[in-house]
Structure 1
Amino acid sequence: MFSKFEPYRIKTVEPIPLTTRENRQKYLEEVAFNPNCLKANQVTIDLMSDSGTNALSCKQWSAMMQADESYAGADSFYTFETTVKKITGFPFIVPVHQGRAAEKILFKVILSETQVAYSNGFFDTNRVHILQNKVKAINIDTEAESCDFMGNIDCRKLEEMLAKDDQKVGVVVMTITNGEKGGWPVSIANIKEVAAICRKHNVLFYADACRFAENSWFIKTRENGFRDKTPSQIALEMFNEFDGCIISAKKDGICNIGGVFATRQRDVFEKFSQECILAEGHITYGGLAGRDLEAIAVGLTEALDEHYLQHRIEMVQEFGRMLELNGATILEPGGHAIFVDADKALPHIPRNQHPAWALTCAIYVEGGIRAFEYGNIKFGYKDENGKELYRHPEFVRLAISRRVYTMSHLKYVAEVFGKVIQNASKVRGLTIVRSPSFLRLFTIEMKEV
């Protein structure tokens, strides 16, 4: 069996910042032990996010050079629109500057106060935008402890909840892949069953489809009847079940900025368009330059390439195995990231000293690696008196940028984890010094215990 390799050649290179352990300790103290506030030139391997951190292809750069920068009705918009229509099948398309702009506008125009929204796993900005409309956001994830599609929604529970009072349900959102649940995929069978339930109860069914291409690959390789279909064919079959979708082009658009709103509902499109003009700009540019629209059109197509997807998913899976060999306990790998169990890595640190946050700090000091806390700082549960609750498991997310790092970079990351875990007793917990009211992990200030 031949060795696996990246299905591309490297034409342009970017130097990686190299720092000393002493300097990294100083940098971390200067930002109040919040790795999210570090300068990029202080980070050696950056696995904080796979959003907008991708490497563009030669075809994308070429398309950008030919972009039309007209204010309205630019040729670049129609290139973008044609590509999105071909991939999704939706007739009404609006570009936005990124996915969270689409979700903010969408939830504003389709939801009303006192309603409820359900999902297999709301992304954090999804949840905040829904809550800002005074709507409850409730996850109904799968009960399966282990299966090929652990990102699924529990259809029995969904049916029960809709049967109680479907008039109060504003929307069901299917996140694909389920980023809040390990980047796990959703099956087409589950999507079709949820769509049927929503139609029965006359409830809107939308997709947060920022990783639709990765989800299509999991369906192709795991779900019966799809082995001989292309990722493009599978994606179209998925989208056919929804009333519309939002897409962050910073993920499976393989771009650095941009997003998509697409729907088959003219009334929603018209309301969305008016809000877009107010907040994002003309509906044929949506806060983007023509060159961004061109890059997205190419990136969405490249994201569905079978060779790219096979390498992408296998790279993440192999990274997970390397981490396990170095002593880490991980969630079942999904499509875009590995989630490391911080409770197991740092068993001496109690929940109220935030072991996942401590682990992100430790791997930065040890090896210059920036990761993302997926624990009780991110999810921020509090009781009615404002007292901290510790309901969420403590994980560290390592998100893999598309076409940026090689396996040797990820091998280094795994080795750094191994050293931190071997010397776990030296890692100290942290307490909160200052915290904003929501999405606090981006600007929170901490101190070591």
Structure 2
Amino acid sequence: MEYPEEPFRIKSVQPIQRLTAAERISALTKADYNIFMVPADNVYIDMLTDSGTGAMSSAQWAGIMNGDESYAGATSFYRLKEVVERVFGFEHFVPTHQGRAAEHILSGILVKPGNVVPSNTHFDTTEANIRVCGGRPVNLGASGTSSAAQQHPFKGNMDLAALRRLIEETGAENIPYGMVTITDNAGGGQPVSMENLRGISEIYRSQGIPFFIDACRYAENAYFIKQREAGYADKSIETIAREFFSLADGATMSGKKDGLVNIGGFLAVNDRELFTDIRNTLILKEGFPTYGGLAGRDMEAMAQGLEEGLDENYLEYRIKQTAYLGESLAALGVPVVKPIGGHAIYIDAGAFLPHIPVEEFPGISLVSELYLEGGVRGVELGSVAFAHQDPDNGQWRHPPMELVRLAIPRRVYTRAHLDHVLASMENIVERKSTLRGYKITWAPEHLRHFTARFAPLD
């Protein structure tokens, strides 16, 4: 597949280095085989996440110098407010230090023990924030979305019939709000169609259930709608985004994704009474309403980044760069989630390493081997990240796929970097039958993949 031309010039560089094989073994061993715990200067190509790891533009850096650090009523807040209102269309918003803070505030106010919160697929922090409040997150991905190989233009869609059944069985009064994640990160970076979003909205509103969008990668989702859904080819990305946000009652967002910043996020709503509770909680846990958890310079950078993230030239490059890596991996015989998503490649580690059972974490095995082989850091999004104990019987419930995500930071890596990733995976393909499983030696109660310790099995 052709590699896309970058729609920018490189203006600043940061040196990176490759450790020797012996040094990589030592680094991973010292980290107890948890790739999160490996120091960044020991990583050559870092695909752990696309969250906050992108390169900011010259205009964003210029905005940082214009940041107003006033405690109350900073001009940088009003610059961000204008962009958020124009693009997202909600009546009220507060800035937060990142998306999980917005999720924490929303769940803390609305979720009570025994409540159920449906989504297409909750991501890790969203799920954890609901569980901490005593709620139960429920994933209702459309039929066939748990198959890596199945092709569907909008594989992130929600199962509308399943949503109706859940509401009927649970009772609308026990669902404080419903969500949908665009694009569907845990499901393979897959987009959600406008038709599906419209159906979700109709169901929630008919039952009086507030509808929230996890908007981390909304611009990429809008680009896929423009490319794949009838009637949207001639519409701008911003117009498409305004349309699907008009279907919702609010949104949480990590600006570290499609906001193109290293830190920042927000929580937006239409309900004024809910906004009052949000603002009071924000003051307690994040900061004053006109800065939240951010410095003025961060708000300036995010306002500029939200606008740049809508640029179609940039989005075309972004999507095609990801497709280049994904299709090239598939050509090597690596099973990847198809169609290729927007921000990352998802390798089906369970299918790639069928001799390693889910209880021995094939995703951790592949992530470890990729680092040992080429200094490439990915992340497991399988049974370490998403398995949980059933509160009724204590049994572990595993996700439908054992995935490894290779997230591509925005405007950071070139074709040569991605080709290094491909060469590393090609070497692993040749000896994949020799890879072994892992066991957990220690883990916290929630979000265990961030800090758990592992050991390879003999």
**Is the TM value for this pair above 0.5?**
yes
CA RMSD, Structure 1 to Structure 2 (Å): 1.5
Per-residue CA deviation, residues 231-273 of structure 1 (Å, 9 max, x unaligned), is 0110111110000101100000000000011111111111100
Per-residue CA deviation, residues 357-403 of structure 1 (Å, 9 max, x unaligned), is 01100010000001000111111333567565555422110001110
SS of corresponding position for 2:177: strand
Which residue in the other structure is 2:445 paired with? 437
Which residue in the other structure is 1:154 paired with? 159
Alpha-carbon deviation of 1:326?
2.2
2:33 alignment partner AA = F
Asked whether the equivalents of residues 379 and 392 of structure 1 are also in contact (C-alpha less than 8 Å), the reply is: no
**Is 1:236 the equivalent of 2:242?**
yes
2-structure distance, mates of 1:226, 1:57: 29
2-structure distance, mates of 1:282, 1:382: 38
Which residue in the other structure is 2:74 paired with? 74
Asked whether the equivalents of residues 326 and 415 of structure 1 are also in contact (C-alpha less than 8 Å), the reply is: no
2:344 pairs with one of 337, 343, 361: 337
| Number of aligned residue pairs | 449
Asked whether the equivalents of residues 120 and 184 of structure 2 are also in contact (C-alpha less than 8 Å), the reply is: yes
**Is 1:423 the equivalent of 2:431?**
yes
2-structure distance, mates of 1:60, 1:39: 27
Asked whether the equivalents of residues 99 and 247 of structure 1 are also in contact (C-alpha less than 8 Å), the reply is: yes
Tell me the percent identity: 41
1-structure distance, mates of 2:231, 2:17: 47
Q: When the two structures are superposed, what TM-score results if normalisation uses the length of structure 2?
A: 0.95
Asked whether the equivalents of residues 188 and 219 of structure 1 are also in contact (C-alpha less than 8 Å), the reply is: yes
Per-residue CA deviation, residues 165-200 of structure 1 (Å, 9 max, x unaligned), is 212111110111111110100011111111111111
2:220 pairs with one of 214, 220, 227: 214
CA 2–435 in structure 1, closer or farther in 2 if over 3 Å, else same: closer
2:328 alignment partner AA = M
1:159 alignment partner AA = R
Which residue in the other structure is 1:403 paired with? 411
Alpha-carbon deviation of 1:287?
1.2
**Is 1:94 the equivalent of 2:99?**
no
2-structure distance, mates of 1:351, 1:279: 38
1-structure distance, mates of 2:333, 2:18: 25
- 5+ long unaligned stretches in structure 1: none
Alignment of 1:326-405 (within 5 A): 326-332=332-338, 333-382=340-389, 388=396, 390-405=398-413
- 5+ long unaligned stretches in structure 2: 145-149
**Is 1:193 the equivalent of 2:199?**
yes
Which residue in the other structure is 2:147 paired with? none
2-structure distance, mates of 1:159, 1:348: 39
1-structure distance, mates of 2:162, 2:2: 46
Q: When the two structures are superposed, what TM-score results if normalisation uses the length of structure 1?
A: 0.97
Asked whether the equivalents of residues 110 and 268 of structure 1 are also in contact (C-alpha less than 8 Å), the reply is: no
Asked whether the equivalents of residues 98 and 250 of structure 1 are also in contact (C-alpha less than 8 Å), the reply is: yes
Which residue in the other structure is 2:26 paired with? 26
Alpha-carbon deviation of 1:349?
2.2
SS of corresponding position for 1:95: strand
SS of corresponding position for 2:388: coil
2-structure distance, mates of 1:391, 1:123: 12
Alpha-carbon deviation of 1:313?
0.6
2:282 pairs with one of 269, 276, 281: 276
1:447 pairs with one of 448, 452, 455: 455
